[in-house]
């Protein structure tokens, strides 16, 4: 690899590290505030103090944190006077989406041939894969928003069913045109885009209109707050599926499964049921069937997708360590060596350029190349099925 190529590769690696770090920080701030305010809404109780009632307070809560007593109050519609110091919560949402889009661009769009395209799934070009990815984000918001406009006031259940069916269809479609990990991350990015769009197009504008009405001395329309809160609650439920999609690229057993779309949807469904339990619990309602069913679904999926042993010939025909080392030299050391030729540094710190190191990572080599078959990455080095079978036979014979 020449110096220029190395510099570019390292720049991408370093940029993605910083973006991922920042994305995680601002994401924690956004999700933390979202969870807190949903908990607060579900936990407040009508005030007993007549003075609070006369002031328009609809609910209050006493809490303690860090050695201090807190008494947050929520007005039924709005206070009689606009406070001088009013805080809004929108920058964590915006910065989470911006850093997320920059991160997906760095990791996936700028390296589409490696991370977006899988020739064994669909014969598309890198440019087409990027177009599909970006279109998914845009179309996902438009469909959600239109469904919410049509159904949110009529039936929350009907909305949830139809939107879930839409997400399922997107997951099915993407896993049949993009690589598994790209499909998963784009389903998550589509939902995350919808969440931020809810803040940008609905929640913050509603808040601005409420404040503007108070400044004009007009009564605040309670419908503004109601609609904004509905979108906020949707975001609360969508958080868990997005978080799983964010971490999914580390777990090939999920996105590499023949029915990867169903794996994703079932895990997302299980997480939503667990989230629903906590939202109800904040209101004093304990419905334990929701987390039990949710966790049963998730654990059931994990059992279902567990890699099966690869069938091989008898141990007497097992390849030698020298034969397996020759395979790793040809197929793996471009990314896993002291001086890799494809990527700037050894990925995950795994190096397979000597017999000793091949033996050290025998289990990982077997799992990734023979069971999950997600390595080499996008099969860039053209590892054959015969070579994968040799790895399996060698490992099952004791990796000697």
What's the pLDDT score for residue 292? 98
Using pLDDT thresholds of 50, 70 and 90, give the confidence band for residue 59.
very high
Residues 367-398 pLDDT 10s: 888 888 888 887 888 899 899 999 999 998 88
Residues 321-365 pLDDT 10s: 999 999 999 999 888 998 888 777 787 789 998 999 999 999 999
Residues 160-170 pLDDT 10s: 999 999 999 99
Average pLDDT over residues 281-288: 91
In the structure encoding, which two tokens stand for residue 43, read together?
């936990």
Residues 6 or more apart whose CB falls under 8 angstroms from that of 239 comprise 31, 34, 35, 195, 275
Share of the chain above pLDDT 70, in %: 97
In the structure encoding, which two tokens stand for residue 392, read together?
């399996």
What's the pLDDT score for residue 314? 56
pLDDT of residue 288 exceeding 60, the answer is yes
Residues 63-109 pLDDT 10s: 999 989 999 999 988 888 888 888 888 899 999 999 999 999 999 99
pLDDT of residue 1 exceeding 50, the answer is no
Q: Are 344 and 337 in contact (CB under 8 A)?
A: no
Of 178 and 341, the structure prediction assigns the larger pLDDT to 178
Q: How far is CA 210 from CA 57, 221, 233, 363, in A?
A: 16, 7, 19, 60
Residues 229-239 pLDDT 10s: 899 999 999 99
Average pLDDT over residues 248-256: 92
Residues 6 or more apart whose CB falls under 8 angstroms from that of 337 comprise 346, 351, 352, 353
Residues 264-273 pLDDT 10s: 999 999 999 9
Residues 6 or more apart whose CB falls under 8 angstroms from that of 89 comprise 33, 37
Q: Are 100 and 137 in contact (CB under 8 A)?
A: no
**Which residues are registered as beta bridge partners of 69?**
64
What's the pLDDT score for residue 52? 92
Mean predicted lDDT score pLDDT of the chain: 91
Distance CA 291, CA 280 (A): 11
Residues 205-246 pLDDT 10s: 999 999 999 888 888 888 888 889 899 999 999 999 999 999
Q: How far is CA 179 from CA 17, 132, 185, 272, 347, in A?
A: 22, 12, 10, 25, 19
């Amino acid at each position: 690899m020449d110096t220029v190529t190395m510099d570019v590769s390292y720049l991408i690696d370093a940029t993605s590290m910083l973006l991922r770090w920042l994305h995680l920080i601002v994401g924690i701030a956004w999700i933390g505030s979202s969870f807190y305010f949903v908990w607060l809404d579900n936990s407040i109780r009508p005030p007993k103090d007549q003075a609070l009632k006369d002031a328009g307070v609809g609910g209050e809560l006493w809490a303690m944190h860090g050695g201090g007593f807190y008494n947050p109050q929520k007005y039924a519609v709005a206070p009689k006077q606009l406070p001088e110091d009013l805080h809004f919560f929108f920058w964590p949402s915006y910065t989470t989406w911006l850093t997320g889009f920059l991160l997906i661009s760095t990791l996936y769009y700028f390296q589409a041939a490696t991370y977006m395209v899988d020739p064994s799934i669909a014969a598309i070009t890198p440019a087409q894969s990027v177009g599909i990815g970006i279109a998914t984000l845009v179309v996902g918001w438009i469909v959600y928003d239109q469904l919410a406009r049509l159904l949110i006031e009529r039936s929350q259940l009907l909305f949830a069913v139809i939107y879930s069916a839409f997400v399922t269809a997107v997951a099915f479609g993407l896993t049949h045109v993009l690589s598994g990990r790209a499909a998963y991350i784009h389903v998550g990015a589509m939902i995350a885009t919808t969440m931020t769009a809810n803040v940008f197009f609905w929640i913050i504008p509603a808040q601005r209109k409420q404040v503007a009405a108070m400044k004009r001395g007009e009564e605040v329309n309670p419908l503004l707050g109601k609609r904004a809160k509905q979108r906020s609650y949707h975001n609360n439920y969508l958080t868990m599926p997005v978080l799983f999609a964010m971490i999914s690229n580390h777990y090939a057993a999920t996105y590499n499964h023949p029915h990867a779309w169903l794996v994703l949807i079932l895990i997302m469904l299980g997480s939503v049921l667990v989230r629903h339990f906590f939202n109800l619990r904040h209101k004093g309602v304990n419905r334990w069937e929701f987390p039990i069913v949710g966790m049963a679904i998730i654990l059931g999926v994990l059992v279902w997708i567990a890699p099966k042993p690869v069938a091989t010939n008898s141990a007497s025909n097992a390849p030698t360590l020298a034969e397996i080392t020759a395979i790793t030299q040809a197929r793996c050391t471009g990314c896993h060596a002291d001086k890799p030729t494809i990527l700037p540094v050894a990925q995950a710190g795994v190096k397979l350029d000597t017999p000793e190191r091949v033996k050290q990572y025998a289990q990982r080599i077997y799992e990734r190349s023979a069971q999950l078959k997600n390595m080499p990455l996008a099969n860039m080095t053209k590892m054959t099925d015969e070579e994968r079978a040799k790895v399996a036979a060698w490992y099952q014979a004791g990796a000697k």
